[in-house]
Amino acid sequence: MKQDAGISRSGSGYVMVTKQCLIVDDSSSIRKVATRILQDFGFQSTEAENGEEALKKCAESMPECIIVDWQIPDVDSSRLMSDIRKLPNGNKPSIIYCVLENDPMQMAAAIRHGANGRLIKPFDRESLTRSMESVGLI
């Protein structure tokens, strides 16, 4: 099976569109763990280690899903989510806000800025699966 830009082609001519997910986190290990888990659900992941890189990737091609860490080195994550929502097709992705604790005030603020769901760090396959299910991605 051949893959190009989110489209898988099998030898029998069937075409399967792969969902895209952008993982925004300054930790390469977190990005890699999320990528491995998401592959099992048919997602092709791209990574960004800061807000500037994330905005650039979203402007080039808006993914179906974006996982945003609560603390990004170059920009406030709330600002990043708001900026993503202002881009063309910015209403398209489900944004999952990744936090260290279950803080209702922080989550309410994240939702006001564009988050659809949350994921608490450290996460595992089960918790990421629940987050993806809660926003209708799987």
pLDDT in 10s for each residue of the chain, 138 residues: 333 445 444 455 555 568 999 999 999 999 999 999 999 999 999 999 999 999 999 999 999 999 999 999 899 999 999 999 999 999 999 999 999 988 999 999 999 999 999 999 999 999 999 999 999 998
> Under 8 Å CB-to-CB from 71, ≥6 apart: which residues?
26, 77
CA dihedral 36, 71, 100, 126 (to 10 degrees): -20
Question: 130 lies in a domain?
Answer: yes
Question: 14 lies in a domain?
Answer: no
Model pTM above 0.95 = no
Q: How many domains does the chain have?
A: 1
Question: 29 lies in a domain?
Answer: yes
Domain region containing 83: 19-134
**Pair of tokens at residue 8:** 């898988």
CATH number of the domain where residue 96 is located: 3.40.50.2300
Q: From residue 76, how far is each of 9, 25, 70, 85, 133 by CA, in Å?
A: 39, 12, 8, 14, 26
Question: 107 lies in a domain?
Answer: yes
Question: 114 lies in a domain?
Answer: yes
